Amino acid sequence: MRTRTGLTLLVLLLSAAAGVSAQPVPPRGTLLEWGAGLRRLILDRTHGYGGRYYEGGLFRTFTRQMDYEYELDLLTYRFTLFDDPMWVQASGGYRVYTGSIDYGEFVTESQIKHAVRLGRRSTFHVLGVQEENLRARRFFVEVGYRYRLAPDHQIGVRHTLGMEKDDLDLSLHYTWRSLAEGGVHLELGLLDWTGNFVYHLIANSNRSFDTRQRYLRRPLFWAVEATTPSRWPLRAEVTAGLQRRSRARVDETVARIPGHAGYVTEHLASFYNKEAVRYLGVLLEYAGSFFTLGATYRGSYGAVTRTPGADSTGCWEAASGLGRCYVPYPYDFQSREYTSAFGLHGALRWRRLELRTEWIRAINADRLSGAALPEAYVMPYDFRERRLTGKTRLSYLAPTGFWGALEFNLEDRNVRGPRQAGTINLPFRRNFPDQVVPFNRRFTLLLGYRRPRLELTAGVSYDQDGDLYSGWGIPSQWRSKPARFDGGFFRLQLTWP
């Protein structure tokens, strides 16, 4: 009897010890999805706000639809670097976030991916990303094939799909081990590889067109991702991409008017478009039994230079009876955008309480200058700011998978530059009067449900700063008093092996 009782107690003690050791560990972070988002921006130029030739820059740092809470809305609604590892490490899944940005508009992003084993060495995979926000309206689709040469070596190819024939991208890649286990992923991308072929098809036809582009220096894209094993307490990540400077000649139709003897005359403007992009993300993180501490660096740079074509003004007639006249392109300008951001993040789990926090100190710049700016802009501007972004969440985790949390989201912005007429950086504010205020802060109540491969979150926010002023520092036209309800949202993340 004593022996049986002793064995029972030993089993209970071992079960309790196993239960303690099986307690969920604090979440860890990743920057790989941040890098994947910038990669999609580089590959898909057509569906960004304003189209391929938007004059405001590659990253759309500011668009005229944005209000001064837009970035705070994204901070509140998007998946964080703590949410991304579940997505990055899964071979298949679906996730979405949707949140209110105005009385009649949501901002939303959905992603779906899946991989199918075709044999012992071959895998087919597909990725779809739908974005509807104030920087893009796109449905990005990419299909790929991987072949395992050896246990630690894979090669593959990926290709984008879309309606625009001149905006298709082909990439070749090599992977050593896997990024989840610690490895390296290398990519060489041939951007718009069908572009010049499509240009010649249009040029040799008698069909009318709005815009045609011919690359004089083709855009190539190089990317690298490298990680240490996720099981290591101290781990690191690097994600980087570079699009070399490209140069293209663009002809666009200005007007079509009747000509003599029944001819139709096309007025064309030509310009040269140069672009370059690069980004770099670095993460260093240490995970203990009940806490995670990490540091990040995120930097990006985008440049666009637009110069008039060298064509002299004149007209000619083709055998098909189509007359064409070249007119001077009216703009000559440069756009430069860059961000350099250092961040600290951490997570702490004690019993049923979990604390997550991330703070980022960023230097942002958006510059527009040149001899002839687009008519939508009143003067050159040189926007610079130092921004402090913070997100802190305290959660209570219920035994059944339900949880609740209170979150604080913050943006403090210090605009730099000369003061004119009592306003800092007046040239920028004349172009974008409602985009920048000194600070934005809100509290967000979260309710969620969590399982190993499922996480559902819903939230509503309470405005802490009042929303009474526009970017000019004058009373807002649409509010006579602060509006404390600051929007709602939901997130869903579901993955499968």
Check whether 18 has a pLDDT greater than 60. Answer: no
Confidence of residue 19 (pLDDT cuts 50, 70, 90): very low
Average pLDDT over residues 90-95: 97
Q: How far apart are CA 260 and CA 265, in angstroms?
A: 9
Could you tell me the two tokens for 406? 């209170």
Residue 432 pLDDT: 86
Q: How far apart are CA 404 and CA 398, in angstroms?
A: 8
The pTM assigned to this predicted structure is 0.89
Model confidence pLDDT, tens digit, residues 101-151: 887 889 999 999 999 999 999 999 999 999 999 999 999 999 999 999 999
Low-confidence winner among 29-33, 237-241, 258-262 (lowest mean pLDDT): 258-262
Q: How far apart are CA 298 and CA 343, in angstroms?
A: 8
Could you tell me the two tokens for 40? 């999609």
Residue pair 143/158 in contact (Cβ under 8 Å)? The answer is yes
Residue 30 pLDDT: 97
Residue 319 pLDDT: 54
Low-confidence winner among 19-23, 37-41, 456-460 (lowest mean pLDDT): 19-23
Which residue type occupies 407?
A: E
Within a 10 A sphere around the Cβ of 409, how many other Cβ atoms?
22
Confidence of residue 325 (pLDDT cuts 50, 70, 90): confident
Residue pair 296/257 in contact (Cβ under 8 Å)? The answer is no
Q: Find the angle CA(265)-CA(271)-CA(275) to the nearest 5 degrees.
A: 145
Q: How far apart are CA 101 and CA 199, in angstroms?
A: 39
Low-confidence winner among 161-170, 191-200, 388-397, 417-426 (lowest mean pLDDT): 417-426
Residue pair 38/279 in contact (Cβ under 8 Å)? The answer is yes
Could you tell me the two tokens for 238? 């690097």
Residue pair 403/450 in contact (Cβ under 8 Å)? The answer is yes
Q: How far apart are CA 25 and CA 454, in angstroms?
A: 17
CATH number for 24-496 (one of 2.30.29, 1.10.10, 3.60.21, 2.40.170): it is: 2.40.170
User: For the stretch 274-298, what's the b/e string if a residue is b when 16 or more beta carbons lie within 10 angstroms of its beta carbon?
Assistant: bbbbbbbbbbebebeeeebebebeb
- HEC string of the chain? CHHHHHHHHHHHHHHHHHHHHCCCCCCCCCCHHHHHHHHHHHHCCCCECCCCCCCCCCCCCCCCCCCCCHHHHHHHHCCCCCCHHHHHHCCEEEEEEEEEEECCEEEEEEEEEEEEECCCCEEEEEEEEEEECCCEEEEEEEEEEEEEEECCEEEEEEEEECCCCCCCCEEEEEEECCCCCCCEEEEEEECCCCHHHHHHHHHCCCCCCCEEEEEEECCEEEEEEEECCCCCCEEEEEEEEEEEEEEEEEEEEEEEEECHHHCEEEEEEEEEEEEEEEEEEEEEEEECCCEEEEEEEEEEEEEEEEEECCCCCEEEECCCCEEEEEECCCCEEEEEEEEEEEEEEEEEEECCEEEEEEEEEEEEEEEEEEEECCCCCCCCEEEEEEEEEEEEEEEEECCCCEEEEEEEEEEEEEEECCEECCEECHHHHHHCCCCCCCEEEEEEEEEEEEECCEEEEEEEEEECCCCCECCCCCECCCCCCCCCEEEEEEEEEEEEC
Q: How far apart are CA 277 and CA 400, in angstroms?
A: 47
Residue pair 77/83 in contact (Cβ under 8 Å)? The answer is no
Low-confidence winner among 369-383, 409-423, 452-466, 470-484 (lowest mean pLDDT): 470-484
Model confidence pLDDT, tens digit, residues 347-364: 999 999 999 999 999 999
Q: How far apart are CA 166 and CA 193, in angstroms?
A: 7
Could you tell me the two tokens for 65? 């639809």
- Among 53, 49, 81, 76, which Cα is nearest to 65's? 49
Report CA-CA distances (Å) from 299 to 71, 226, 333, 389.
Answer: 17, 17, 24, 15
The CA-based dihedral angle spanning residues 45, 51, 57, 61, taken in that order and rounded to the nearest 10 degrees:
-90
Within a 10 A sphere around the Cβ of 206, how many other Cβ atoms?
9
Confidence of residue 22 (pLDDT cuts 50, 70, 90): very low
Average pLDDT over residues 365-373: 93
Residue pair 315/375 in contact (Cβ under 8 Å)? The answer is no
The CA-based dihedral angle spanning residues 133, 134, 139, 142, taken in that order and rounded to the nearest 10 degrees:
-100
Q: For residue 177, list its beta bridge partners.
A: none
Confidence of residue 470 (pLDDT cuts 50, 70, 90): very low
* CA diameter of the chain: 115
Question: pLDDT > 70: what percent of the chain?
Answer: 88
Residue 15 pLDDT: 40
Rg of the chain over CA atoms, in angstroms?
A: 27
Q: How far apart are CA 252 and CA 276, in angstroms?
A: 22
